[in-house]
Amino acid sequence: MAQYVMQKSPALHGEVRVQRSKNAVLPMMACCLMTEECIDLAGVPKLTDVDCMAALLSDLGATVTRKNDEMTLCGGGLNGWQAGHNWVERMRASVLVMGPLLARCRKARLNFPGGCAIGTRPIDLHLKGLSLMGASVALSDGCMEARAQEGLKGANIYLDFPSVGATENIMMAATLAQGTTVIENAAKEPEIVDLAHLLERMGARISGVGQSTLVIEGVEKLHGAQYTPMPDRIETGTLMLCAAATGGDVLLMGADGSSLHAVIAKMRECGAVITAQDQGIRVRGGELVGVDVETLVYPGFPTDLQAPMMALLCRAEGTSILTEHIFENRFMQVPQLRKMGASITVRGRNAIVRGVMELHGARVAATDLRAGAALVLAGLTAEGHTTVTDIAHIERGYVDLAGALAALGAPIARVE
């Protein structure tokens, strides 16, 4: 199994280009199920989650071809409505084929999704929304089957929580439903805005994009489109935190600060110097001091950057309190960071981090995608050697984290 081996890094220095957003690309790929024509996506990152979605769509009869970073997805040959269990169990985002399949085939069958083990992660809100649109949902043997024999109908849907995935699934389904769908308390994450823009290019009629009430007027047909997804704000944030943690000076080419206000504000509070430049975002490290951080839905601090932020705060002066509001089991990095000498106490949804002078290298395991990124960040600042195992989790969401850091001067390598 592959692992990262690394040593304490000098200050990171130089320029690196950020990848396009994994979380934007995955639902965009599912959109190919809703049209006979093809969708061309540019800048698609080479990630195992992307491969997983491509394989799932191919199983359903879509044709997915990739040339370097360009991917063409054609749903003209769609011949299935049941997603193979092996893909769905591997990746939670597989549930995003549910809305498109229901809209096009009027039926969909999937296993309950898997993915990172960061909480119970139910999908009740997805199912509630699709049910309100006329789908009947049956659950049995770890499977869910939804049918809308008369086709989906527009509905008024209030989400008890602004779930990203539920908003995406319902929005996609609603574009081909009969009549108007209103989603209240919809998620406002930039990836949802990006998805809405692709759907609009495909002929969908959506208003309220980026706001908490989305109004979608169903159309009879969607057509093909070309689209370049947004830069990956989580990869950007991770690299920004790595730069600051090492006291470096790094330009993140192609990064977009407009989706990272909360992260930039917190990093500045912590002592980093961050400036927007024409080509991207420049980050310079300073003396780091502890800050309190609460994860929230957008535009709040993203839960996906809580673990890397914690790793940075392990060596910041003073005490920091991190509060995780989005997922109930997202402190899986803590035991691993403690192995490296971090002083962290977890009390329910709060983690109290007392800054230490020094972390020391250790053999640590990536338990999930973002926890893995946190360990890499900690390894950059720890005395001696660090080995991060189970990096398959990291490779679900970062194209080549070790390569990007090595290009900035970090002594890190991926070894089999």
Q: List, by residue number, the catalytic residues.
A: 116
Report if residue 93 touches ligand UD1, rule: CB under 6 A: yes
Which residue from 14, 76, 77, 122 is in contact with ligand UD1, where contact means CB under 6 A? 122
Report if residue 227 touches ligand UD1, rule: CB under 6 A: no
Cβ closest to ligand UD1, residue 24 vs residue 252: 24
**Stretch 280-309: interaction string toward ligand UD1, x if CB under 6 A:** -----------------------xx-----
Candidate ranges 141-149, 157-165, 222-230, 261-269; the one touching ligand UD1 (CB under 6 A): 157-165
Instruction: Tell me the C-alpha distance between 392 and 281, whole Å.
Output: 28
Cβ closest to ligand UD1, residue 144 vs residue 412: 144
SS (H, E, C) 6-62: EECCCCCEEEEECCECHHHHHHHHHHHHHCCCEEEECCCCCCHHHHHHHHHHHHCCC
Tokens of residue 311, six digits: 């790793």
Strands 273-277 and 280-284: antiparallel
Report if residue 165 touches ligand UD1, rule: CB under 6 A: yes
Instruction: Tell me the C-alpha distance between 112 and 120, whole Å.
Output: 11
Which residue from 42, 46, 76, 124 is in contact with ligand UD1, where contact means CB under 6 A? 124
Give which of 49, 44, 52 is closest to 21, Cα–Cα: 44
Q: Which residue has the tokens 């997603």?
A: 83
What is the footprint of ligand UD1 within residues 185-204 (CB under 6 A)? 191
Cβ closest to ligand UD1, residue 3 vs residue 306: 306
Instruction: Tell me the C-alpha distance between 337 and 354, whole Å.
Output: 12
Candidate ranges 72-80, 118-126, 212-220, 388-396; the one touching ligand UD1 (CB under 6 A): 118-126
Cα dihedral angle (43, 46, 48, 50), rounded to 10 degrees?
A: 20
**Paired residues of 355 in beta bridges:** none
Report if residue 119 touches ligand UD1, rule: CB under 6 A: yes
Question: Total number of residues binding ligand UD1 (CB under 6 A)?
Answer: 21
Instruction: Tell me the C-alpha distance between 358 and 416, whole Å.
Output: 29
Count of CB atoms situated within 10 Å of the CB of 167? 28
Report if residue 163 touches ligand UD1, rule: CB under 6 A: yes
Phi first, then psi: give them for residue 362, nearest 5 degrees: -160, 170
Report if residue 382 touches ligand UD1, rule: CB under 6 A: no
As measured in angstroms, the least distance from the Cβ of 280 to ligand UD1 is 22
Cβ closest to ligand UD1, residue 9 vs residue 303: 303
Give which of 307, 274, 257, 267 is closest to 291, Cα–Cα: 267
Report if residue 123 touches ligand UD1, rule: CB under 6 A: yes
Binding site for ligand UD1 (CB under 6 A): 23, 26, 92-93, 119, 121-126, 161, 163-166, 191, 303-304, 326-327
